[in-house]
């Protein structure tokens, strides 16, 4: 069974991605240490969200 995702759900994911991106950018502005654990974790979370988003976007017409 395939679950259909709505545009509203997609927009919510876009919003979360944007929030994470801003959070990551503020971390970058605050400290340029890319080995920082928080920085690495936030970056990985953003990557995962973006991957999910791209897959979901293809299912929404």
2 has pLDDT over 60: no
pLDDT classification of 1: cutoffs 50, 70, 90? very low
Q: Is the pTM of this model over 0.85?
A: no
Q: Where are the domains of the chain?
A: 7-59
Q: Which fold has domain 7-59?
A: MYOD Basic-Helix-Loop-Helix Domain, subunit B (4.10.280)
pLDDT tens-place string over residues 17-38: 888 778 777 766 666 666 667 7
Task: State residue 27's pLDDT score.
Answer: 67
41 has pLDDT over 60: yes
Instruction: Tell me how far CA of residue 33 lies from CA of 7, 9, 10, 36, 40, in angstroms.
Output: 37, 34, 32, 6, 10
């Amino acid at each position: 069974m395939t679950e259909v995702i709505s545009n509203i759900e997609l927009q919510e994911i876009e919003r979360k991605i944007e929030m994470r991106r801003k959070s990551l950018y503020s971390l970058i502005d605050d400290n340029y240490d890319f080995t920082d654990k928080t920085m690495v974790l936030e970056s990985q979370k953003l990557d995962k969200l973006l991957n999910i988003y791209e897959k979901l976007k293809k299912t929404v017409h």
